[in-house]
Structure 1
Amino acid sequence: MSRFRLYPTPEQETALLLQCGHARYVWNLALEQWSMWTRDKRPAPRYVEQARQLTEARAGFDWLRAGSQTVQQQALRDFDQAVSNFYAGTHRRPTWRKARLHEGFRIVGGQASRILRLNRKWAVVNVPKVGWVRFRVSRAVPDAKSYRITRERTGRWHIAFAAIPPPVPAPGSGEIVGVDRGVTTSAALSTGELLSCPGFSDGELKRLKHLQRRLVRCQRGSNRRQRVRAAIAGLHARARDRRKDWVEKTSTDLARRFDIIRIEDLRVAQMTRRPNPKPDPGRPGAYMPNKRCAKAGLNRGIRASAWGLLVERLEHKALDRVERVNPAYTSQTCSTCGHCAPANRKNQAVFRCVACGHQADADVNAAVNIAAGRAVSARRETPVQVSQKREPQLATSA
């Protein structure tokens, strides 16, 4: 999606928040209907029946009729699509939308094309029930049939047009690159390049700690607590913007330079889960230490390196040119002789093969193995022991 910064006036911001509230109310109401379904009841109503109920509700309530019918119907369509994705197994179960956290709505159809260019830097969009709202033109505005308006927790408004850009063309040089992802080094390439995703600066970390301590002392529901939360959200928003900018630039550069991009197939969602509690067998109701604080720090480092977003954008830009490689033992295998042993990894940064003496950066060595497509087993150098009395097994046909 092509996203632009939206600059509404105070009156328009109030109207936009009202539209967000209507969309959130309709979504939560549809979710409540769907959650009440059980096997002994009739099927939960889907979009057609819910749209009819929405028409009756708009006729009975003035505050709901004051909003845009397009916004409220699209909230029902979005929920119906979310339910279909959940049943298909591609997405998780739809959840409740909360105020100040999920602020946004979608416009489709002919109303989405009401855009007027003012000059080189500014344009306006006609939002139903709101009027002409300015947005900053940072790139060419695509010809889209729908757009979504969202508000961040920091108070920034954005408009995103649903237009899929074409993939980056391959250079045609036949070059293959391997990408190894890490925490200290966000991405190491088989060419020897070490890339680091920018995050918080030292000053921002100091201010973040100070604001978090102030937040603990603030009274819940007070204006001061809201200001401190907004300041903390602003720091995280700047770090998130830097992270996304780095991902976009890195993915575009890799898609333009290499024909084949091989990256380790990591399950980031499973890797960043919190550890399960360990019950103490000697004390019923008590738990043993499970190193959850250390695991939480590792999870923050993985998320700050944007592992999942980098692969997602690479697959978008380098279409059908990204190959996922099994990461098993790629960090313990020598990229020169192929010897695999845990002793090869001297520490987190240095790799030294105990067989041939090859020494290199550990992440770069793993990236070379990924570029070569090496995914070895734990017994790579040991022949599989098969009984002499075993009957020959016929190979299964493809």
Structure 2
Amino acid sequence: MSIVQRVYPTEGAQLDVLVMHCDHARYVYNLGLEQRSWWTPSRRHFRQKINYVSQAADLTEARREYDWLRAGSSVVQQGALRDLDRAFINFFARRAGYPTFKKRSNARQGFVVRDLAVRRVNRRWGEILVPKAGWVRFRISRAWTDICAATSARVAVTNGRWTVSLTTPPAVCKVADTAAVVGIDRGVANSVATSDGRMFHAPGFTVGEQVRFVALQRRLSRQQKGSANRDRTKAELGRLRLRLADRRGDWIEQTTTALATSYCAAAVEKLPIANMTRRAKPKPDPDRPGGFLPNGGRAKSGLNRAILASCWGKFAQRLDHKMSVVAVPAAYTSQECSNCGHTCPENRDSQAVFRCQGCGFEHHADTNAAINIRDRAFNIEHQPEDSLGDRVHQSRKRAAPTTSVA
């Protein structure tokens, strides 16, 4: 895990050195990626295989030849090669895609500090030793014992904000002093709904910020690429996005911590978020070559933005870090009656109203779905008020296994 702290380099020498490290790390990473692309099956018999060891040796020779490269830190440049080697390891293990080049225009730049050294100045401030830059101050917002347990760090800048991510051992999950379990339904109107009736909403832009954001986007579309005015507009947009990301990250941490301290285990539905947020496929018009039929792309793009704004993936990830989480299939959780088990599309009158056609049970649709998710994960059988039920639903329920992701 990482502890992220704000870094405040001094204007002038320290800031210039940090920017230089970012540039060198990006250059070495891109050069190493281009060198690895030379390695093809047709060259394997007469060319040495390219890996981290061979590239580190090439970096040493390059530092002897070029003064501007030697002016930087070998630790930072070797860290970029290690990042590249790890990217290829993840690619061959099918955990990630093929590595891509890093652009100078990317909003986030950074470099690695391997030989970590930190010291405390006072209660609120600490310092980290950065090669060639000396001791750089950072704001302390976590326990100093956790910061001292870090083994490495990564200094990064995002839209002018400098941070340091301190790599630490994973925190011990706090077991809640209760046997209660909860089901969680993730949606758009209500970002998170629990089986006990609570609703949580992911924050967004305020009205004024939304107006400002749209105005900046329109201004950006009219400005010439590469101009100084366009760069300033992009910086303003980046600061707004960063403020929104901080707001949503704080909401995720507070909400998941509140759930982890109130329940011993949670159940969520397995959602293919990447597939659910794909753009609508174009529909060619057979009567007009080169033309297309309406495909609902505008409505689908609006739904995609709403799903991503609800932070489904990050919420489930952080919840899994803090407590035991069980994932269950999402099929029919919104159509199934939590009272009798009757399942049909007509049970859900609208986004918020659930009215069972079998037993007449009424509840909030999101809460009803969260109850079904909880019952599936922890094998809680329905106890209907009468004998109404659905044998097809019962057989489907027995055939749907639960999978633990804790």
- Taking structure 1 as the reference length, what is the TM-score of the superposition? 0.91
CA contact (8 A) 2:342 2:393 kept: no
Q: Which residue of 2 is the match for residue 341 of structure 1?
A: 344
Separation in 2 of the partners of 1:384 and 1:232? Answer: 52
Separation in 1 of the partners of 2:39 and 2:289? Answer: 38
1:41-120 matched pairs, under 5 angstroms: 41-42=43-44, 44-101=49-106, 102-109=108-115, 112-113=116-117, 115-120=118-123
Instruction: Tell me which of 139, 163, 167 is aligned to 1:136.
Output: 139
Q: Which residue of 1 is the match for residue 23 of structure 2?
A: 21
Instruction: Between 330-339 and 89-98, report the one with greater CA deviation.
Output: 89-98
Q: CA deviation at 1:250?
A: 1.1
Q: Which residue of 2 is the match for residue 382 of structure 1?
A: 392
Aligned residue pairs total: 377
Residue aligned with 1:372, SS: helix
Structure 1 counterpart of 2:374, which letter? A
1:1-398 matched pairs, under 5 angstroms: 1-11=2-12, 12-42=14-44, 44-101=49-106, 102-109=108-115, 112-113=116-117, 115-141=118-144, 142=147, 143-152=149-158, 154-318=159-323, 321-373=324-376, 381-382=391-392
Residue aligned with 1:331, SS: coil
Q: 1:16 to 1:384 in 2, by over 3 A?
A: closer
Separation in 2 of the partners of 1:219 and 1:94? Answer: 30
Residues 156-193 of structure 1: per-residue CA shift (max 9 Å, x gap): 00001001342332224221100000111100000100
The percentage of counterpart residues that share the same residue type is 47
Q: CA deviation at 1:34?
A: 2.2
CA contact (8 A) 1:263 1:322 kept: yes
Separation in 2 of the partners of 1:352 and 1:164? Answer: 48
CA contact (8 A) 1:33 1:44 kept: no
Q: 1:90 to 1:160 in 2, by over 3 A?
A: same
Residue aligned with 1:324, SS: strand
Q: 1:383 to 1:266 in 2, by over 3 A?
A: closer
Structure 1 counterpart of 2:133, which letter? V
Instruction: Between 212-221 and 364-373, report the one with greater CA deviation.
Output: 212-221
Separation in 1 of the partners of 2:170 and 2:394? Answer: 49
Residues 10-50 of structure 1: per-residue CA shift (max 9 Å, x gap): 22222111100110111111111223332212275010011
CA contact (8 A) 2:112 2:154 kept: yes
CA contact (8 A) 1:333 1:340 kept: yes
Separation in 1 of the partners of 2:254 and 2:187? Answer: 18
- Gaps of at least 5 residues in structure 1 are 386-398
Separation in 1 of the partners of 2:20 and 2:174? Answer: 43
Separation in 2 of the partners of 1:69 and 1:31? Answer: 18
- Gaps of at least 5 residues in structure 2 are 382-388, 396-406
Instruction: Between 223-232 and 19-28, report the one with greater CA deviation.
Output: 223-232
Instruction: Between 216-225 and 291-300, report the one with greater CA deviation.
Output: 216-225
Residues 337-395 of structure 1: per-residue CA shift (max 9 Å, x gap): 1100100000111111111111111100000000101799xx9633999xxxxxxxxxx
Structure 2 counterpart of 1:30, which letter? G
Calculate the aligned-residue CA RMSD, in Å. 2.0
CA contact (8 A) 2:5 2:164 kept: yes
